[in-house]
Structure 1
Amino acid sequence: MDFKVNWKTGDKSLVVRSHDNTELVNDIFFAGCESAGAAVNVQMGKQTIQNIKNGAVKEVPFNFNMRCDGLKPDTKVPVKVYFEGNSQADGMLTLSNLGQPGVAAGVGISLVSDKGVKLPFDIARFVALVWNREVADGSVYRFTGSAKYTPTGGEMKPGKGDATMNFVLNYN
């Protein structure tokens, strides 16, 4: 790039000349990411109040995959996730229709990653997804966690124990 600037004031003038090279590089990591599979339905099964009180309920594992397309081969881009749902704190999901007839009381669903980290319900505390494998024109990332019923305080009553949460993907 060459440029020349002339300034003239009265009988005085100033000439500035410059010569330089500029290289523009367009290096896009990927076109986008999307869920690689159907909605995850975690079957918690039936549990007794006594087992929930004693912490003797089994953890139910679950996972989901994200496919990120347009990646250059062997490029590992950090993909992060956080969750949205009816939650009072990270790692604890409130039951749907709480307080309605036929819905359990005094129980919530504890959620942790496979590393024991409580699932975050805020973008500021995201969890990194783990790179899983290369596929044509991209990569697959995986989240693995587990869920279990846990006491939330107050009197426990039997009933339906359903809950819903969404995951929000961040791959900036």
Structure 2
Amino acid sequence: MDLKVNWQMGDKSLVVRSQGSTELVNDIFFAGCESVGAAVNVQMGKQTIQHIKNGSVKEVPFNFDVRCDGLKPDTKVPVKVYFEGNSQADGMLKLSNLGQPGVASGVGISLVNDKGVKLPFDITRSVALDWNREVADGSVYRFTGKAKYTPTGGEITPGKGDATMSFVINYN
């Protein structure tokens, strides 16, 4: 590549000449990532108020997979995830329709990953997914977590204890 620049100001001029080369390499990690399978429905089951109060509620495991296509063989790209939902803090999901008739109160859903880290509800605290396996044209990453009912303060009353959250794949 040859470059020539002429500057002229009044009766004075300056000429700059340069010669060199540039190599442009397009090395794409992958085409994209997407969730594998249907929505995950975590069956929490019925719990007694006493078990919730004393913390003896059983944790319910859940997981989901994310497939990243277009990866070069043996390339392990870090894929992270964070969550969105009605959350009062990381790791704590509020119940749906809170305050409505027939909905439990004084209780929320505690959420952690398999390493005990509270699930983040902000992109800046995204947690890494674990590489699971290779598939045609890519890799599968897995998230494994646990959910359980936990007191949130105030009187615990019986009722429906449903909640909804979404996960956002972060692979930038």
Distance 2:141 2:24 in 1: 31
Residue identity opposite 2:163 in structure 1: A
Residue identity opposite 1:131 in structure 2: W
Query: Per-residue CA shift, 1:73-123, capped at 9, x if unaligned?
Result: 111111111101111111000011111111111110000010100001111
- The equivalent of 2:166 in structure 1 is 166
Secondary structure of 1:53's aligned partner? helix
Distance 2:158 2:9 in 1: 90
Distance 1:170 1:53 in 2: 36
Distance 1:6 1:33 in 2: 49
TM-score, scaled to structure 1: 0.94
Change beyond 3 A, Cα 1:51–1:11: closer
Matches within 5 A, 1:1-172: 1-6=1-6, 14-172=14-172
Distance 1:96 1:127 in 2: 25
Give the deviation of 1:15 after TM superposition. Answer: 4.4
Secondary structure of 1:153's aligned partner? coil
Give the deviation of 1:2 after TM superposition. Answer: 2.0
RMSD between aligned residues: 1.6
Structure 1 unaligned spans of 5+ = none
TM-score, scaled to structure 2: 0.94
Secondary structure of 1:65's aligned partner? strand
Secondary structure of 2:52's aligned partner? helix
Distance 2:137 2:105 in 1: 48
Matched positions, count: 172
State the identity as a percent.
Answer: 87
Structure 2 unaligned spans of 5+ = none
